[in-house]
């Protein structure tokens, strides 16, 4: 039985990329006769991974209107200086307190005038200036290289990164970009977080270009390794925005896996999904590649499609509830949604995580 809607679906997907269940399904549908369509689709996918200039401008304009990404009660500690007060005490211009001198401390810290009146050495303590950091984790793995309508999921993830970067800069946060899933731009961590719009735009443009030029099979995303690296190197109180597909088998895993990071940082999960991954269209009888064999599914059955849609939406809701139980924000982002539309939902997700939603 020839599946309906296959041509338009396979042209908009990124053939040979998707290793999620739907990517494998599209690959099984295409077959050997669609080699030419696959080649054209891959070329189109590479050309459209980078968002357009107008889309980026809309994302930045909307991101600048986002509410605070992190509450003031979160601790701060970083190697960068700024206009916010750090939790730790040390060298700085803001006087905090006087305390007794402790053996081994530098004598330069002693306040000799007050020590003379107190008849014992007294040290002046200041609070160090600091600047919070926002870390944007962009999943460039196989599951994100899929799309059936306006754009690929990876493109939508890049647009969301632009928006959250704009919101972070508005809140005086230093921003660092983490592209994972393959070697997009090796060594980019050396520069550390930046505070300029031009630097962020350049980094995201380089990531999109590198993702478009990648022709071979993508490497699996090492989510456990990423979480461990973030836990070890991020200053407490950082904002971590994870842009991925939370329902994919190659996605960020379970919400509970992020509990250690959630205890020390402010997490925001943005789950990017294509519409057909939540509401399967009628493609007729199709072969679904699962494990070592193929399984035939009758997507023409309305009852099956409704059950599938219900199951997917329940999984998404369960992910949201689990993430919010950790104190993290969760935003479901359709791949085809325009920035002006989905950004209107972002304040609600942030408010729910902060416990201030009405």
| Res 316: pLDDT | 95
**pLDDT band with cut points at 50, 70 and 90 for residue 136:** very high
pLDDT at 296 over 90: no
| Res 329: pLDDT | 94
Q: Of 179 and 16, which is predicted with more confidence? A: 179
Tens digits of per-residue pLDDT, 65-115?
998 887 654 444 333 445 444 444 444 455 778 889 988 787 888 889 899
Q: Of 354 and 57, which is predicted with more confidence? A: 57
Q: How far apart are the first and last CA of the chain?
A: 51
Tens digits of per-residue pLDDT, 208-247?
888 877 545 556 778 999 999 999 888 888 999 999 999 9
Q: Of 161 and 107, which is predicted with more confidence? A: 161
**How far apart are alpha carbons 17 and 23 in whole angstroms?**
7
| Res 245: pLDDT | 95
**How far apart are alpha carbons 101 and 120 in whole angstroms?**
8
* Under 8 Å between Cβ of 175 and 136: yes
| Low-confidence winner among 14-28, 158-172, 186-200 (lowest mean pLDDT) | 14-28
DSSP 80-135: S--SEEEEEEESSSEEEEEEE--TTS-GGGB-HHHHHHHTS-EEEEEEEEE--EEE
| Res 241: pLDDT | 96
| Res 77: pLDDT | 37
| Res 358: pLDDT | 53
Q: Which two tokens stand for residue 274?
A: 């294509």
Please compute the mean of the pLDDT values over residues 30-52 and round it to a whole number: 51
| Low-confidence winner among 69-78, 217-226, 304-313, 323-332 (lowest mean pLDDT) | 69-78
| Res 355: pLDDT | 64
| Res 163: pLDDT | 96
| Res 72: pLDDT | 54
pLDDT at 42 over 80: no
**How far apart are alpha carbons 13 and 73 in whole angstroms?**
44
| pLDDT averaged over every residue in the chain | 77
Please compute the mean of the pLDDT values over residues 304-327 and round it to a whole number: 94
DSSP 331: E
pLDDT at 172 over 80: yes
Q: Of 311 and 284, which is predicted with more confidence? A: 311
217 by DSSP, 3-state: which?
Answer: coil
């Amino acid at each position: 039985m020839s599946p309906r809607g296959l041509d338009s679906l396979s042209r908009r997907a990124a053939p040979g990329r998707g290793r999620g269940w739907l990517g494998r399904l599209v690959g099984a549908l295409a077959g050997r006769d669609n080699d030419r369509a696959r080649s054209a689709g891959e070329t189109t996918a590479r050309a459209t991974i980078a968002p357009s200039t107008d889309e980026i401008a809309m994302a930045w304009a909307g991101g600048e209107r986002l509410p605070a990404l992190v509450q003031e009660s979160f601790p701060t500690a970083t190697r960068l200086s700024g206009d916010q007060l750090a939790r730790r005490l040390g060298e700085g211009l803001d006087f905090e307190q006087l305390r007794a001198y402790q053996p081994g401390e530098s004598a330069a810290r002693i306040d000799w005038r007050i020590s003379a009146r107190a008849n014992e050495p007294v040290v002046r303590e200041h609070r160090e200036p600091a600047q919070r950091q926002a870390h944007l984790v962009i999943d460039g793995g196989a599951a994100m290289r899929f799309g059936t309508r306006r754009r690929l999921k990876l493109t939508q993830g890049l647009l969301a990164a632009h928006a959250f970067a704009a919101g972070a800069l508005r809140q005086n946060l230093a921003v660092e970009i983490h592209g994972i899933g393959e070697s997009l731009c090796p060594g980019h961590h050396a520069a550390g977080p930046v505070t300029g719009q031009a630097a962020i735009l350049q980094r995201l443009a380089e990531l999109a270009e590198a993702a478009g030029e990648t022709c071979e099979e993508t490497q699996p995303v090492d989510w456990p390794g990423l979480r461990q690296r973030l836990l070890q190197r991020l200053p407490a109180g950082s904002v971590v925005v994870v842009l991925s597909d939370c329902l994919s088998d190659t996605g960020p895993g379970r919400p509970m896996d992020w509990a250690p990071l959630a205890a020390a940082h402010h997490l925001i999960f943005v789950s990017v999904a294509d519409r057909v991954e939540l509401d399967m269209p009628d493609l007729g009888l199709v072969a679904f590649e699962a494990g070592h064999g193929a399984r035939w599914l009758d997507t023409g059955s309305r009852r099956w499609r409704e059950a599938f849609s219900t199951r997917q939406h329940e999984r998404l809701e369960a992910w949201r509830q689990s993430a919010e139980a950790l104190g993290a924000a969760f935003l479901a982002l359709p791949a085809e949604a325009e920035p002006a539309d989905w950004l209107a939902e972002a304040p609600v997700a942030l408010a729910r995580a902060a416990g201030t939603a009405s």
